[in-house]
Amino acid sequence: MQAGPISIAMVAGEAADDRLAAALIGSLRRQRPALRVNGIAGPKMQAQGAESIIPMENVLPRARKALLGDTRARGDIRRQLVQRLLETRPTLYVDVGASAFNLAIARPLRRAGVPTVQYAGPPVWTWRGWRVRRLASCLTHALALYPFEMAAYERAGISTTYVGHPLADSVPYDVDKAAARTQLRLPHGKLIVALMPGDRVNGLQPIAEVLVKAARRFHNEVKDVHFVVPTSSRHSRELFESTLRLHADGDLPLTLLFGHSHEALAAADLALVTSETASLEALLFKTPMIIAHHVAAAVKRWTYRLSHQTYLSLPNRLAGAQVVPEFLQRQLTPWTLAAALMTLMRDAQAQRRQIEAFAEVHHVLRQDNLARATETLLGMLDDASR
């Protein structure tokens, strides 16, 4: 039986995780207003009433770079949090996000008898079986955002609830492209192509160069085109601007945005995407796409192993078919991407196949994520407090 007040320890180590965790806390506390939540909380979580034992800034990616060379500092942060949580003994621990740092906190808590839950976890479907099985020492339960995650978790002996993806709940099934173009002041009557360079600092420079050069080659063949590029930070915007100055000669019809990735994909006829997040967004907005996988040199061996999987990209794996053309590493040249975009533009049937597959996947992913996750966690809280 749970001693002391009912509470949840929750850890979110990145800004995106803070948003997910905040929505989850809000949903939980609407049903249990007295519920206490603490751990590593960002500003959005704190706005929902969570107490931050350790500032989230200490484990953000920009802080991590400094911490990578000082494993003692990272270990101190983890030990400090674990000690505090073992002293207060939460009813439940919820790990939000894919960080190994978070999972290292879950392991000692589970050994101490605290139920531990993973929400929006790492891409276990790309892992070897032994690596997934190691999660069993950390997790009591997993909340799966994708249906194919369930088999990977359950093979490792981790009970799982499929909750769907929160983004699928927020994106409408039918998108008004004309309204999106008007909102972004994009030209009507032209082919709109979204270039999605992603938000990772490492590797952004080379992929931006490839995208700009591919856009130039495409524009040489298709004059009636306009490109739109959403960027996620001031750094990524400045980097893309410098790439344009170097490689576009000022003659590329292009609108550079700060944020507004959803609006850009809603407005676009086609998209060239380079990140998993952008590929999921393009899928939900039913925008036919080409996927370009670009990773740092340090993980090329990993992508070589992944390249032997049936479906490398998230949209193809979700669709269970090779509906989206995808390019990896050495295939990633301006010539191949421009040619692939040209082929997709001219093939109305291929575009229709993508759109139909995306619509089916959207229905599968739209499960009222917050309601399902909340119901599962409240059930676990009740079981643990009996």
Same domain? For 238 and 103 the reply is no
Lowest mean pLDDT among 103-107, 231-235, 294-298: 294-298
Same domain? For 144 and 18 the reply is yes
Give the domain extent around 379. Answer: 7-164+367-385
Mean pLDDT to the nearest integer, 78-106: 87
Same domain? For 372 and 356 the reply is no
Provide the domain count of the chain.
2
Q: What pTM was computed for the model?
A: 0.87
* Domain-embedded: residue 172: no
User: CATH no. for residue 44?
Assistant: 3.40.50.2000
Give me Rg for the CA atoms of the chain: 22
Same domain? For 375 and 229 the reply is no
Q: 170: part of which helix (H) or strand (E)?
A: helix 166-170
Instruction: Judge contact between 9 and 93, C-beta under 8 A.
Output: yes
Same domain? For 248 and 375 the reply is no
Confidence class for position 309, pLDDT limits 50, 70, 90: low
Same domain? For 182 and 330 the reply is yes
Q: Helix axis angle, 234-247 relative to 204-221, nearest 10°?
A: 50
Same domain? For 142 and 288 the reply is no
* Domain-embedded: residue 2: no
Mean pLDDT to the nearest integer, 196-219: 78
* Domain-embedded: residue 267: yes
Measure the CA–CA gap between 2 and 14, rounded to whole angstroms: 30
* Domain-embedded: residue 171: no
Instruction: Give tens-digit pLDDT for 350-368.
Output: 999 999 999 999 999 999 9
